[in-house]
């Protein structure tokens, strides 16, 4: 099964395999607080056998919320409800991760299925003004988006600390892997890109200055996030707007020296093109970005993006193009994907990575020759070669 052939430890944390559920927004929080939906959602992936489940982009301050349904971690009140998710994921022998994020100029929007556009002022949103989008510079994402307020220098410093405090809360909530969202055209990426960052202070201008925000965030996070816990950063390694693999590899080297262990290699988002569409729609479309960063920055990487099949994932690992494999939309389709991949790859004991509540029954049925392959592989009884008893 993907990653069983190699050691899977990152700092003090061991993964049972290299399959990762990447952060995937549910747009279902209430005033930043998780609901039963989040528990069910994280829970089903952990029970499905993934090595690591990363909870969606959780916002380090109110102004950073993308939609009314974003999760928050800007106050200690979030620790206890988030701890339920971490606890349940760990009870399923998976590792609990969480992504910290801030939407910057893309904040205050509708949910994707409501059009993914700026929200209109409404009396339901009591703190409308406190939720004003901020960014490195007063430059809109595109014509249809509002012009954000440029952050004052002291506000940038405060925000750096906000990420640090959020990391402390994530630790207190029991998460063992932390990912910083530096991709997809959100706040950190807005600082990295010349297109959105035209500051004249030490956070803008040269490449080193544009990298300062995420570098300081990493330092602040590492003072609160324990040494034995891994730290990931997600980057748009190629954003098709001036930031590419060379810059990303240079940044990865800097971040590695500050205590980052894994670069999660994504792309896009600083322009109107949605990250999950990509420039070329093909299997593994972002894997070359992962390979580039891994080779040039000598750092562990996670590959993501249209990785759908078990053998596809296994080959990426064998070719040393990545250290971890994130399966996003396909695991929405099939939360038991790790079990499915184990079956397809002929791994011994494919049901042992899922809880006995269902793994036991599937295992005993398989011993009798039934259901040894998921039904989705077959055309029904004829192909399965079994008659209804
Ligand atoms: C519903 C949904 C929500 C997402 N939310 C996030 C998120 O919170 N943070 C993030 O970095 N990426 C997010 N993504 C991007 C995914 O993590 C992943 O990179 C992307 O879906 C490509 O991988 P895939 O082809 O395996 O789905 C989201 C994707 C989807 C489909």
Q: Which atom of ligand 1 is nearest to the CA of 112?
A: 1
Q: CB within 6 Å of ligand 1 — which residues?
A: 22-25, 56-57, 99, 181, 183-184, 234, 266, 276, 304-307, 327-330
Give 275 Cα–ligand 1 centroid separation in angstroms: 8
Lowest mean pLDDT among 44-58, 183-197, 350-364: 350-364
- Phi/psi of residue 387, nearest 5 degrees: -100, 150
Whether the predicted pLDDT of 35 surpasses 70: yes
203 is catalytic: no
| Cα separation, 191 vs 216, whole angstroms | 12
Give 55 Cα–ligand 1 centroid separation in angstroms: 11
Q: Which atom of ligand 1 is nearest to the CA of 307?
A: 26
CB-based burial label for 281 (10 Å; 0-12, 13-18, 19+): exposed
| Cα separation, 182 vs 32, whole angstroms | 20
Please tell me which residue in 27, 186, 283, 285 is annotated as part of the active site: 186
Give 259 Cα–ligand 1 centroid separation in angstroms: 24
Strand partners, 363: none
Q: Which atom of ligand 1 is nearest to the CA of 326?
A: 26
- The pLDDT tens digits for 103-116 are 999 999 999 999 98
Contact 23, 55 (CB under 8 A): yes
Per-residue confidence (pLDDT) for residue 352, from 0 to 100 = 84
Q: Residue 21: which pLDDT band, with cuts at 50, 70 and 90?
A: very high
Per-residue confidence (pLDDT) for residue 6, from 0 to 100 = 43
Whether the predicted pLDDT of 381 surpasses 70: no
The tokens of 388 are what?
């209804």
Residue spans per domain, the chain: 9-354
Q: Assign 3-class secondary structure to the chain.
A: CCCCCCCCEECCEECCCCEEECCCCCCCCECCECCHHHHHHHHHHHHCCCCEEEEEEEECCHHHCCCCCCEECCCHHHHHHHHHHHHHHHHCCCEEEEEEECCHHHCCECCHHHCCCECCCCCCCCCCHHHCCEECCCCCCCCCCCCCEECCHHHHHHHHHHHHHHHHHHHHCCCCEEEEEECCCCHHHHHHCCCCCCCCCCCCCCHHHHHHHHHHHHHHHHHHCCCCCCEEEEEEEECCCCCCHHHHHHHHHHHHHCCCCEEEEEECCCCCCCCCCCCCCCCCCCHHHHHHHHHHHCCEEEEECCCCCHHHHHHHHHCCCCCEEECCHHHHHCCCHHHHHHHHCCCCCCCCCCCHHHHHHHHHHHHCCCCCCCHHHCCCHHHHCCCCC
Residue minimizing CA distance to atom 22 of ligand 1: 305
Give 135 Cα–ligand 1 centroid separation in angstroms: 22
- The three-class DSSP label of residue 36 is helix
The candidate with the shortest Cα–Cα distance to 42, out of 83, 81, 88, 78, is: 88
Q: Which atom of ligand 1 is nearest to the CA of 308?
A: 26
Q: Residue 282: which pLDDT band, with cuts at 50, 70 and 90?
A: confident
The candidate with the shortest Cα–Cα distance to 99, out of 135, 63, 64, 140, is: 64
Per-residue confidence (pLDDT) for residue 302, from 0 to 100 = 98
Whether the predicted pLDDT of 387 surpasses 80: no
Give me the chain's average pLDDT, please: 93
Q: Residue 12: which pLDDT band, with cuts at 50, 70 and 90?
A: confident
Angle, alpha carbons 285-28-106 (nearest 5°):
60
Q: Residue 385: which pLDDT band, with cuts at 50, 70 and 90?
A: low
Contact 65, 72 (CB under 8 A): yes
Which CATH number, 3.40.50.150, 3.40.50.2300, 3.20.20.70, 3.30.565.10, labels domain 9-354? 3.20.20.70
Whether the predicted pLDDT of 274 surpasses 90: no
The candidate with the shortest Cα–Cα distance to 3, out of 306, 261, 324, 375, is: 324
Contact 258, 233 (CB under 8 A): no
- The pLDDT tens digits for 316-334 are 999 999 999 999 999 999 9
Whether the predicted pLDDT of 3 surpasses 80: no
% of the chain with per-residue pLDDT over 90: 85
Ligand 1 pocket check: which of 2, 20, 21, 25 to mutate, most ligand atoms within 8 Å of Cβ? 25
Query: Which residues does 7 contact at the CB level (< 8 Å), separation at least 6?
Result: none
Contact 259, 215 (CB under 8 A): no
The candidate with the shortest Cα–Cα distance to 220, out of 126, 269, 140, 156, is: 156
Give 212 Cα–ligand 1 centroid separation in angstroms: 26
Mean pLDDT calculated for residue range 203-218: 98
Whether the predicted pLDDT of 256 surpasses 60: yes
Lowest mean pLDDT among 2-16, 131-145, 191-205: 2-16
pTM over 0.85: yes
Mean pLDDT calculated for residue range 214-235: 98
């Amino acid at each position: 099964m993907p990653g069983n052939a190699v050691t899977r430890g990152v700092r003090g944390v061991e993964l049972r395999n290299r399959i990762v559920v990447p952060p995937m927004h549910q747009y279902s929080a209430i005033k930043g607080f998780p609901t039963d939906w989040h528990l069910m959602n994280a829970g089903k992936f952990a029970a499905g056998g993934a090595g690591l489940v990363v909870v969606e982009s959780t916002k380090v301050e109110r102004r950073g919320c993308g939609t009314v349904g974003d999760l928050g971690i800007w106050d200690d009140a979030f620790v206890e409800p988030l701890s339920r998710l971490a606890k349940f994921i760990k009870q399923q022998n998976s590792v609990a991760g969480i992504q910290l994020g801030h939407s910057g100029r893309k904040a205050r929007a509708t949910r994707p299925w409501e059009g993914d556009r700026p929200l209109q002022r409404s009396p339901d949103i009591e703190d409308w003004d406190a939720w004003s989008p901020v960014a490195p510079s007063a430059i809109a994402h595109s014509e249809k988006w509002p012009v954000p307020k440029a952050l004052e220098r002291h506000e940038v410093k405060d925000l750096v600390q906000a990420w640090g405090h959020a990391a402390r809360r994530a630790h207190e909530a029991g998460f063992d892997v932390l990912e910083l969202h530096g991709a997809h055209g959100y706040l950190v990426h807005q600082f990295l890109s010349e297109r959105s960052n035209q500051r004249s202070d030490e956070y803008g201008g040269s490449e080193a200055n544009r990298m300062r925000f995420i570098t300081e965030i990493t330092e602040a996070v590492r003072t609160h996030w324990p040494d034995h816990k891994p730290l990931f950063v997600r980057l748009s390694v190629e954003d098709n707007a001036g930031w590419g693999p060379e810059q990303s590899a240079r940044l990865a080297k800097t971040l590695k020296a500050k205590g980052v262990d894994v670069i999660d290699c994504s792309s896009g988002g600083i322009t109107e093109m949605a990250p999950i569409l990509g420039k070329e729609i093909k299997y593994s479309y972002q894997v070359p970005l992962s390979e580039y960063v891994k080779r040039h920055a000598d750092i562990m990487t996670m590959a993501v993006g249209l990785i759908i099949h078990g053998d596809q994932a296994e080959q990426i690992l064998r070719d040393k193009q990545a250290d971890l494999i994130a399966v996003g939309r396909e695991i929405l389709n099939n939360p038991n994907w790790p079990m499915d991949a184990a079956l397809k790859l002929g791994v011994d004991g494919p049901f042992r990575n899922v809880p006995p509540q269902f793994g036991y029954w599937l295992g005993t049925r398989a011993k009798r020759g039934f259901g040894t392959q998921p039904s989705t592989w077959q055309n029904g009884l004829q192909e399965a070669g079994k008659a209804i008893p």
